[in-house]
Amino acid sequence: MSNSPTITPKIKFDAQNVIPIASLILVFMFGVNYFMAASPGPLERWLTNNCLMGVSASKAVETAFSYLKLAFSGNAAAIVPVQQAVIDFITFCFKSSFASLDVQQVAVNCFFMWAFGASLEQRIGAGRFFMVCMLGSSLPWVLAYYEVVSRDPIHCYYGPFFLFCVLVGASFVFPPEKKINTEWFKSSRGNIFAKPPEDDFASRYQFKPMLFLVLFIAYEAGMYFWVGKSYPILKNALILSGIGSIFIGYLAVSVIVWSATGSLKDGPMRLMCVKMYNDILRLDVGHETAVKGTAHALGLPPERVKEWIAKQKGKMSVS
């Protein structure tokens, strides 16, 4: 009787073969926001409409806390000003996240939005991706506020640096798979007329972390010094808040992935069940046959397999 350890197959979440529509919408938002803000007018108007300014942000936060104290003391009418102050702060953050200074910057922002967003959206789905982006355009600005904005009434902060950092951190949840190039082997066997393999639909949006990460760091560093020299009043990046944004993105998508596994008690087994079911189903067999084969292989009741398969529908694709 063999005592060799059982090797557990590696679970991975498949990319969905759909067009990343949410990423396209956000790319479109960068363009729309720029053209709406590019109307002729004084620089002060652009700063007010497109930047998180220390004075405005501090006023909104102080208003929220002052009325919040009244609300806790029993004044129900104070809830309305608190809500309005929170909405004002979130509006500042959202508009600042999608602000671009010139045509070149909006073009690069659209590129990075697609580079970081399309692949991630393929993994977690459009709805979850949009939720991560909304989180990335608001929560990191809270970190920035407490890091420096609240004590800096002079500078104005703008740009999607924090949003992209969130997407970078989120993308690290799905490290790219290493693929072996077998074309040389085919040629060595005389298959010189072999048709080169075509990329599948999802590979068009594959995230290449090192390439885009290096480009992103180089670009943001260059922009930081260029903006600081050309427009001393503007700031487009903060290092500590950027690092915090990476952790926010990683944690947010890790929670999303965890939610796709079910409960802590049966999550790993459920993923294994769904994986085996999908593998059997790819053999061109019917649903019932795949359920029976999975149940027999894992020693589970067919009813439990059917239940887990049904619960996995609409969630992230497992293989």
- So what's the pLDDT on residue 15? 53
Top-confidence residue, 241 or 275: 241
- So what's the pLDDT on residue 38? 67
Q: Do 289 and 163 belong together in one domain?
A: no
Q: Do 272 and 123 belong together in one domain?
A: no
- So what's the pLDDT on residue 33? 87
Q: Which of 18-22, 165-169, 264-268, 285-289 has the highest mean pLDDT?
A: 165-169
CB of 132 closer than 8 Å to CB of 253: yes
Q: Is 287 left (phi over 0), alpha (psi -120 to 50) or beta?
A: alpha
Residue 101 DSSP code = S
What span, in angstroms and rounded, lies between the C-alpha atoms of 53 and 59?
10
- So what's the pLDDT on residue 29? 92
What span, in angstroms and rounded, lies between the C-alpha atoms of 46 and 129?
29
- So what's the pLDDT on residue 268? 58
Q: Do 169 and 271 belong together in one domain?
A: no
* Distances 257 to 11, 103, 105, 232, 314 between C-alpha atoms, Å: 12, 37, 33, 42, 13
At 314, the pLDDT band (50, 70, 90 cuts) reads: low
- Return all residues near 87 (Cβ < 8 A) that are at least 6 apart: none
Q: Do 68 and 141 belong together in one domain?
A: yes
Identity of the amino acid at 250: Y
- Tokens read off for 64: 């929220």
At 225, the pLDDT band (50, 70, 90 cuts) reads: very high
Q: Determine the length of the chain.
A: 319
Residue 203 maps to a domain: no
Q: Do 273 and 236 belong together in one domain?
A: no
Q: Do 212 and 282 belong together in one domain?
A: no
Domain at 161, CATH number: 1.20.1540
Q: Do 219 and 287 belong together in one domain?
A: no
Instruction: Cite the DSSP H helix spans in the chain.
Output: 21-37, 43-50, 54-72, 79-97, 103-124, 126-136, 139-147, 161-171, 183-188, 209-230, 239-259, 267-281, 287-298, 302-312
Range of the domain at 294: 267-312
Q: How far is CA 109 from the centre of its chain?
A: 15
Q: Do 215 and 151 belong together in one domain?
A: yes
Could you report the per-residue pLDDT of 182-218, keeping only the tens digit for each?
A: 444 444 444 444 444 444 444 554 555 577 888 899 9
Quote the number of domains for the chain: 2
* CB neighbours of residue 3 within 10 Å: 4
Beta bridge partners of 13: 318
Could you report the per-residue pLDDT of 123-150, keeping only the tens digit for each?
A: 888 888 999 999 999 999 999 999 888 8
Edge-to-edge strands of the sheet including 234-235? 52-53, 156-157, 234-235
- So what's the pLDDT on residue 313? 66
Return the percentage of the chain with pLDDT > 70, whole number. Answer: 75
Could you report the per-residue pLDDT of 11-66, keeping only the tens digit for each?
A: 455 455 668 899 999 999 998 888 887 666 667 777 888 888 888 888 888 888 88
* Distances 274 to 220, 261, 287 between C-alpha atoms, Å: 42, 10, 12
- Choosing from 242, 259, 276, the residue where a domain stops is 259
Q: Do 124 and 242 belong together in one domain?
A: yes
The CA-CA-CA angle for residues 274, 279, 285, to 5°, reads 110
- So what's the pLDDT on residue 6? 43
Q: Do 158 and 249 belong together in one domain?
A: yes
Q: What is the CA radius of gyration of the chain?
A: 25
